[in-house]
Chains A and B, each alone.
Chain A
Amino acid sequence: MVLQAALEAGMDIPHYCYHPSLSVVASCRLCLMEMKVPDPKSGELVWMPKLVPSCQTPVKEGMEVRFNSPAVQQNQQQCMEYFLLNHPLDCPVCDQAGECYLQDYSYRFGQPTSRMVEEKLKNPKKDVGPRTLLYQDRCVMCSRCVRFTDEIAGTHELTVVNRGNRAEIDVFPGLPLNNPLQGNVVDLCPVGSLLDKDFLFKQRVWLLRETKSICPGCSTGCAIRIDHNEGVIYRLKPRFSPKVNDYWMCDEGRFGWKYLQDGDRLTRPVVRRGGEVFYPRWEDIPEIINYRLRKLAEQQTPTAVVLSPMLACEEAWLIASYVRALLPQAVLVASWLPVQGAEQNFPVGSPAEKARFTIRPEKCPNRRGVELLINKLGGASSTLEDLIKQVKEKKIKAAWITGGYSQRDWVSKELAAAAKELELLVMQDLYANALTDNSHVLLPSCCWAEREGSFVNQAGLIQPFERAVDGPEGTRRDGQYLYEIAGYSGLYRAEKVRERMAEQLAEFRDIYVAPDPPEHQH
Chain B
Amino acid sequence: MSWKAYDRNQPVMDPQAPPVLTEAVREKIRSFFPRYETKRAVLLPALHIVQELLGYVSYQAMKEIADLLEIHASDVLDVVSFYTHFANHPKGRKTVMVCRSLSCELMGGKAVLEAVKNTLQIQEHGTSTDGQYFLVTEECLAECDHAPCLKINERTYHQVKATDVSRILADEKNAELSIARSSLFDPPGH
Contacts and interface: CB of A to CB of B under 8 A. Distances in A.
Interface residues of A, number: 24
Given A156-B74, A159-B75, A173-B59, A127 B5 contact: yes
Contacts of B6: 124-127
Contacts of A156: 71-72, 74-75
20 contacts: A124-B5, A125-B4, A125-B5, A126-B5, A127-B7, A129-B8, A156-B71, A157-B74, A159-B74, A159-B75, A160-B78, A161-B77, A162-B82, A163-B81, A170-B74, A172-B77, A173-B8, A174-B10, A174-B13, A175-B73
B11 to A, nearest CB: 3
Given A157-B72, A163-B82, A127 B77 contact: no
A58 interface: no
Interface string B1-43: 0011111111111010000000000000000000000000000
B50 interface: no
A171 interface: yes
B9 A130 contact: yes
Contact of A172 (B3, B5, B15, B72): B72
Nearest to A129: B9
Contacts of A441: none
Interface string B129-172: 00000000000000000000000000000000000000000000
Contact of A124 (B4, B59, B77): B4
B62 interface: yes
A304 interface: no
Nearest to A163: B82
B102 to A, nearest CB: 21
Interface in A136-185: 155-163, 170-176
B74 A171 contact: yes
A427 interface: no
Given A128-B9, A173-B11, 12 more contacts: A124-B4, A126-B5, A126-B8, A127-B7, A127-B8, A130-B9, A156-B74, A172-B77, A173-B12, A174-B10, A176-B8, A176-B9
B54 to A, nearest CB: 18
A17 B71 CA distance: 24
A133 to B, nearest CB: 7
A219 B81 CA distance: 43
A160 B82 CA distance: 8
B70 to A, nearest CB: 11
Given A124-B4, A173-B8, A176-B8, A159 B13 contact: no
Contacts of B15: 174
Nearest to A201: B1
Contacts of A127: 5-9
B8 A161 contact: no
* A156, A157, A174, most chain B CB atoms within 10 A: A174
A217 to B, nearest CB: 26
Nearest to A168: B81
Most chain B C-beta atoms within 10 Å of own C-beta, residue among A155, A157, A160, A172: A172
A93 to B, nearest CB: 10
Interface string A208-231: 000000000000000000000000
For the side of the interface on B, what is the size category?
Answer: 20 to 34
Contacts of B59: 172-173
Contact of B74 (A124, A162, A172): A172
A260 B71 CA distance: 41
A170 B88 CA distance: 15
Contacts of A128: 8-9
A170 B8 contact: yes
Contacts of A170: 8, 74, 77
> Which 5 A-B pairs rank lowest in CB-CB distance, beginning with the nearest?
A174-B11, A156-B72, A159-B74, A125-B5, A161-B81
Given A161-B81, A162-B81, A163-B82, A175 B74 contact: yes
A221 to B, nearest CB: 31
A408 B63 CA distance: 43
Interface string B56-81: 00010011000000011111111001
A340 to B, nearest CB: 26
Nearest to A174: B11
B64 to A, nearest CB: 12
A204 B12 CA distance: 36
B116 to A, nearest CB: 26
A90 B151 CA distance: 46
B87 to A, nearest CB: 13
Nearest to A136: B6
B81 A171 contact: no
A476 to B, nearest CB: 41
Nearest to B13: A174
Interface string A97-123: 000000000000000000000000000
Nearest to B82: A163
A160 B73 CA distance: 12
Of A130, A133, A160, most B-chain CB atoms within 10 Å: A160
B78 A161 contact: yes
A73 B38 CA distance: 43
A129 B13 CA distance: 18
Contacts of B72: 155-157, 159, 172, 175
Contacts of B12: 173-174
A75 to B, nearest CB: 26
A130 B8 CA distance: 10
A160 B79 CA distance: 9
Contacts of B77: 159, 161, 170, 172
B9 A174 contact: yes
Contacts of B13: 174
Contacts of A158: 74
Contacts of A161: 77-78, 81-82
A129 B74 CA distance: 14
Interface centre among B11, B62, B71, B76 (most CB of A within 10 A): B11
